[in-house]
Structure 1
């Protein structure tokens, strides 16, 4: 009987020890799980208040996404896009050190030749198949795309249409694109260099011509008409509001981007300096040479700018772009033409 009682006592003690060990193991697992959850929560929050980047099912950063707010609402885009199509905005991509997968092209307008991109052309009047073939993982659009176009592009890849509020200022556009790409510091560097160049150039232009009046005219080759660009023009308004040049009165009073004017109006502009470029192609093309002969006509001879040799024939592609690289090139052109 004594031996049997001792056996029961030892068995009871063994059961109690096993229960204690099991409880400790459970508590250790729970503590480990809580610590892991705390670390994950800390990693998913961002001190700058931006929307945190999500990660894919593997947890790798390369597959992560983030949300940006465009003109037509929020869109989820890759956190680290590798193949970017920038329709109308290749200039900004190149300034940020990014080579786009395509360059937009329009049969009537050509493309932005000044960028010198060696990538396939994408005819924006044609099929989306050509863009789909390049397998972009992000598409960025400017104001040239309405909601219907945006939705079509969105079928190809995640698409960020820049907010309307940034489209009038190349600085804001550059910053918005850099933010979408996750490289805001690159925009800051580009803008610092650009602003320093503009500040220096503005002083030199002011010293050279003071308040002499400037007109920017596009020669529409097909019908040999003229478009006077106003101060609000997204392509050339920069020469007034950033470079400090003085517009002719008609351009200063314009609320629209441009106004089609007859040849007879040109002398009435009172321009001391005229900047002119064709709507498409190079000046030495046959069509443009024929259109250029208009500038030798009798109506032009008494214009102050013509009499004084201050009519400047410019390359059309960067003068018909309001992007950051194009604007820098416009300043170079003006300094070369005006500052002696």
Structure 2
């Protein structure tokens, strides 16, 4: 009896060992297959050669150090932190500082020494090189350099989609645009209930001068065309946006018939003091009805990125709640 049990146990042990060995081999085969799949996926996610305004450029896979001066808004919308942020001296895009406050700056003229110092994996530039110190050849010698088309430079949705394609973030780009469209739809309904057919003008006061936003100037374009806010007659009379933004005279502001006026800029600016002491300004409809509002930071209002627009929508809703 004892011998019988021992042999059976021996056979059982041998059987289990064989099963485990076969399982291990199968696991190795699966691991090899997984590794092969992983290698295959890695190969699929390698560099890609695309067309840009300056011809073909090879975009590296998963670049970690990206320079896209003035278009950090788009990178952040895709969940990417730039290696440096656009600046003019001490001035930066303030509305992005909550996310970029610890990121070093790069001068808006893109000095070659600064660019070199950041050792970028990828550089993304606007289609015009007028403001850059270097040439395309200079920058492309440092890192692969993608030059946007005019449409990609000026239309944030086109730009966001293109960046998504270049950086393997197509899903993130689609989701960001879908979320934005939902936000616009909700804000449109809310503002329609609050303002009805009342008009709103937007004016930037800086250095004692007054800049009235045309219908398609920066964030005003979104407010008027997407949120459906009524355009004052004087704003309509300004016509299409020109490349040069000319100040409007105090005397001309006497014609401003807006029901509401949003003033952007520091409240201690000399221009604000002049307005407060001006009979011309004090007699406008919005002032008479106590419908003038102040927002100190104009940075999101003078930009056209998705994050800029979302912040503008939030501020506008908060003003009129």
The question of a shared fold, defined as TM-score above 0.5 by the shorter chain, is answered with yes
Pair member with larger Rg: 1
- In 2: Cα distance, 1:79 partner to 1:310 partner: 52
Query: Residues 134 and 62 from structure 1, CA distance in 2 versus in 1: closer, same or farther, beyond 3 angstroms?
Result: farther
| Number of aligned positions between the proteins | 273
C-alpha distance after superposition, 1:264-303 (max 9, x if no partner): 111202111212223xxxx26xxx4433212312221111
Which residue is equivalent to 2:272? Answer: 292
| Paired residues for 1:159-308 under 5 Å | 159-221=145-207, 224-253=208-237, 254-257=239-242, 258-278=245-265, 283=266, 288-297=268-277, 298-308=279-289
Q: Is the 8 A contact 1:63 1:78 kept in 2?
A: no
Q: Is the 8 A contact 2:205 2:269 kept in 1?
A: no
C-alpha distance after superposition, 1:45-70 (max 9, x if no partner): xxxxxxxxxx9xxx964993212222
- In 2: Cα distance, 1:202 partner to 1:63 partner: 40
TM-score by length of 2: 0.77
| Structure 1 residue 87: Cα displacement | 0.7
- In 1: Cα distance, 2:216 partner to 2:55 partner: 27
- In 2: Cα distance, 1:99 partner to 1:179 partner: 17
Q: Is the 8 A contact 1:89 1:142 kept in 2?
A: no
C-alpha distance after superposition, 1:284-333 (max 9, x if no partner): 6xxx4433212312221111112222222222111111100010000001
| Structure 1 residue 156: Cα displacement | 2.7
Query: Residues 246 and 153 from structure 1, CA distance in 2 versus in 1: closer, same or farther, beyond 3 angstroms?
Result: farther
- In 2: Cα distance, 1:300 partner to 1:147 partner: 37
- In 1: Cα distance, 2:283 partner to 2:162 partner: 46
Q: Is the 8 A contact 1:236 1:322 kept in 2?
A: no
Which residue is equivalent to 1:36? Answer: none
- In 2: Cα distance, 1:185 partner to 1:176 partner: 12
Q: Does 1:83 align with 2:68?
A: no
Gaps of 5+ in 2: 1-36
Q: Does 1:101 align with 2:88?
A: no
| Structure 1 residue 143: Cα displacement | 5.1
C-alpha distance after superposition, 1:128-161 (max 9, x if no partner): 2122111111112235644975614333321222
- In 1: Cα distance, 2:261 partner to 2:142 partner: 43
SS at match of 1:233: coil
| Structure 1 residue 167: Cα displacement | 3.8
Gaps of 5+ in 1: 1-42, 44-54
SS at match of 2:81: coil
TM-score by length of 1: 0.73
| Structure 1 residue 230: Cα displacement | 1.2
C-alpha distance after superposition, 1:78-127 (max 9, x if no partner): 1321111111110111111100000110138x111221201111112363
- In 1: Cα distance, 2:149 partner to 2:191 partner: 33
- In 2: Cα distance, 1:70 partner to 1:230 partner: 31
SS at match of 1:263: coil
Q: Does 1:332 align with 2:314?
A: yes
- In 2: Cα distance, 1:68 partner to 1:233 partner: 32
Which residue is equivalent to 1:48? Answer: none
C-alpha distance after superposition, 1:232-265 (max 9, x if no partner): 2234311111111122223334112444210111
Query: Residues 305 and 69 from structure 1, CA distance in 2 versus in 1: closer, same or farther, beyond 3 angstroms?
Result: farther
Query: Residues 153 and 226 from structure 1, CA distance in 2 versus in 1: closer, same or farther, beyond 3 angstroms?
Result: farther
- In 2: Cα distance, 1:83 partner to 1:191 partner: 24
